[in-house]
């Protein structure tokens, strides 16, 4: 796989789309579980103190499982030494866990009990897949904009818009324009992925996960040329 900086907006756009897709699909299918924006589960856990919410076990497990996935990804990258092979392998690992999410979700249907074993396992596979992508964003794809948590991106976009339109400095406006070109596409892609994940699950249930799996497969194949 070539240097991710040379891939323009394709790689961050694709990964952000996948994150939005998987997060929304998991949220709808697994009783409000966040897999990419994993700290969002804290809000739901807090709300459950005064209003019952389904799937408390999965939400409690999500953070430690996510942390374990990030740690395992980091250890793998340290031992692999990085490079193009590591980039392909990290995307392949994400695709593998999305396949497990797909298979377990299908096996768990109909999902009527959020605390059923297969429902929890499906959610954890989704969390691991997104943990791998989060780790990749901070390591092998550090040159790219973040692709899983959009709050920071949106904050920077607003700051850069103010700088671009209000600053009298040519240098400040030029830097803001560059950052906007880097940050806006992933935010739009995440939003598009979220919409596609909702519609996809509505029409095809867990089978809709074939789309992000295929996208990862294409990224791996194109990057290996």
Task: Specify if 68 maps to a domain.
Answer: yes
Cβ 12 vs Cβ 179: under 8 Å = no
Task: Specify if 121 maps to a domain.
Answer: yes
Q: How many Å apart are CA 59 and CA 43, to the nearest integer?
A: 10
Task: Specify if 160 maps to a domain.
Answer: yes
Residue 25 Cα distances to 75, 159, 161, 193, angstroms: 29, 31, 31, 10
* Number of structural domains the chain divides into: 1
For residue 132, give the CATH number of its domain. Answer: 1.20.1250
Closest CA to 179 of 162, 196, 202: 162
Residue-number span of the structural domain to which 60 is assigned: 8-223
Task: Specify if 1 maps to a domain.
Answer: no
Task: Specify if 88 maps to a domain.
Answer: yes
pLDDT in tens, the chain (225 residues): 555 544 456 899 999 999 999 999 999 999 999 998 888 888 888 888 787 778 899 999 999 999 999 999 999 999 987 778 889 999 999 999 999 999 999 999 999 898 999 999 999 999 999 999 999 999 999 888 888 888 889 999 999 999 999 999 999 999 999 999 999 999 999 999 999 999 999 999 999 999 999 999 999 998 743
Task: Specify if 170 maps to a domain.
Answer: yes
**What's the token pair of residue 204?**
């095809």
Burial of 76 (0-12, 13-18, 19+ CB in 10 A): middle
Cβ 157 vs Cβ 181: under 8 Å = no
How far does Cα 189 stand from its chain's mean position? 11
What is the pLDDT, as a whole number, of residue 3?
A: 52
């Amino acid at each position: 796989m070539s240097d991710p900086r040379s891939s323009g907006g394709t790689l961050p756009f694709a990964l952000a789309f996948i994150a939005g897709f998987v997060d929304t699909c998991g949220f709808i299918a697994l009783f409000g579980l966040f897999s990419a924006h994993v700290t969002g589960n804290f809000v739901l856990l807090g709300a459950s103190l005064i209003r019952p919410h389904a799937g408390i076990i999965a939400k409690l497990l999500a953070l430690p499982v996510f942390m374990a996935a990030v740690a395992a990804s980091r250890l793998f990258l340290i031992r692999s030494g990085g490079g193009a092979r590591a980039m392909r392998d990290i995307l392949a690992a994400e695709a593998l866990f999305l396949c497990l999410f797909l298979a377990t979700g299908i096996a768990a249907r109909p999902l009527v009990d959020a605390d059923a074993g297969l429902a929890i396992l499906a959610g954890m596979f989704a969390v691991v897949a997104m943990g791998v992508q989060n780790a990749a964003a901070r390591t092998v794809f550090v040159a790219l904009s973040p692709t899983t948590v959009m709050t920071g991106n949106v904050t920077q976009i607003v700051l850069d818009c103010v700088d671009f339109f209000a600053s009298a400095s040519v240098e400040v406006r030029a830097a803001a324009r560059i950052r906007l070109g880097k940050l806006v596409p992933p935010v739009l892609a995440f939003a598009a992925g979220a919409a596609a994940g909702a519609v996809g699950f509505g029409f095809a249930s867990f089978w809709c996960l074939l789309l992000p799996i295929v996208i990862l497969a294409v990224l791996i194949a194109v990057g290996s040329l």
